Structure 1
């Protein structure tokens, strides 16, 4: 059964089918640029996907067949980001969206086609895995706009791009190709345009079919390592230890012995 829910007037859409989730940025008239309402909606949509619709892996993508996201909707800036005080409020909303992706209990996979600029690039960088097609173009135009990105978004760039490429992206604002970002490890795979969705959702389905507690423990441990967070490390250790008393561990052993596919429940 497929479950769906819309947020921010339908500009953020969420769907889950058999444990595989989709989070869609849908503002095609503006190259999927994100309004303030859309930034606000992303944490709510992820909460719905994971807690209510029981997604075990989520693909983040742009609506339509042209672009992932042009980033923040600059046309709103005179009203919502016109000085340091309003920018601080706006960036806190950005940061909550980045954090919701980064800290989601389940793996997040960015499927990128076309433009992936600014805040859109930041959302992709916050994901666990990233696949792009040959049409993708990546850039961080902050230096050309005279503004700075939230520090946590910069951390995501450094983690996902590596130190030197993050500096190049942030200091120059120059566009980067899928080929370059595949070579430096930011991208897991580059596909033909018509193959992107299949590649991303096949990966998500593979993850969704595995034991949820095992995947969650691995994500927690990786985040703890990347962030140097001892609290997260303790949480990962507790979650990892709990797997040995889980029904899924018993099911995994039984399925292996019986030479069949396991049916994991997350318990």
Structure 2
């Protein structure tokens, strides 16, 4: 898959950071950016040292503002080209939504259209007070597919989902929090330190427990007859059979902080 300087990836301890780096266009996303995002997420997934991933946008003015319209002539001028773009978006969304480790969207500024879709693929969303959220599909006569719409309904409920789409207006961070779209709202100066501490806190906990809970919460939204309850139980038993379970007990008895290895 193509890599580009419009996407940045770095690792700090047990935390991986994925940054959409197109600030002159409010981090609007091109085909090559979606493909690079998928590639970086695959790298984080395979890295046993990475336990949490933070997704964010560069420049301070936007998280992600949707598709890069300036690229439409070259990337979406034909049905074949448009299909390739949509498939790349679907793969990137799936790579993030199905990512087996915790993910956090760190949102500053505009989170519009595909940016909302991207944030919905993360486990948690933490935003600044000045952030703005919108899905303007109804202002452009854009059809919105079922899968991403269902993610929004699952998170905020049907009434708020309809309000977001019917009005196509921009919502404040306070409104987004009221709807349940974001978990936390902070001042701009607090955001990065808070998210770093949040991610580090999660990363210091037992990975087998955290990852098993992520999997089982996702299973709760799958049709009952399609749930993989055998895998749920196997993940629970793996926690009890792990070295980390021994470490957790010993650390508790010795009144010290546990050091988990994920084994």
TM-score class normalised by the smaller sequence:
over 0.9
Which residue of structure 2 aligns with residue 113 of structure 1? 108
Aligned partners of 1:137 and 1:177 also within 8 Å: yes
Normalization by structure 2: what TM-score? 0.93
Gaps of 5+ in 2: none
Which residue of structure 2 aligns with residue 257 of structure 1? 253
The answer to which of 243-252 and 79-88 deviates more is 79-88
**Whole-Å separation in 2 of the counterparts to 1:213 and 1:53:** 12
- 1:13 is paired with a residue of what secondary structure? strand
Which residue of structure 2 aligns with residue 224 of structure 1? 219
**Whole-Å separation in 2 of the counterparts to 1:90 and 1:40:** 9
Which residue of structure 2 aligns with residue 244 of structure 1? 240
- Whether 1:81 aligns to 2:79 is no
Tell me the CA shift for residue 231 of structure 1. 4.3
- 2:49 is paired with a residue of what secondary structure? coil
**Whole-Å separation in 1 of the counterparts to 2:228 and 2:19:** 28
Aligned partners of 2:4 and 2:36 also within 8 Å: no
Q: 1:94 to 1:232 in 2, by over 3 A?
A: farther
Structure 1 stretches of 4+ moved >6 Å: none
**Whole-Å separation in 2 of the counterparts to 1:164 and 1:234:** 35
Cα deviation, 1:192-246, whole Å, max 9, x if unaligned, reads: 0111111111111110000111011000001111233634443232212211101
Aligned partners of 1:95 and 1:152 also within 8 Å: no
Gaps of 5+ in 1: 1-6
Normalization by structure 1: what TM-score? 0.92
Q: 1:124 to 1:256 in 2, by over 3 A?
A: same
Alignment RMSD (CA, Å) = 1.7
Q: 1:150 to 1:92 in 2, by over 3 A?
A: farther
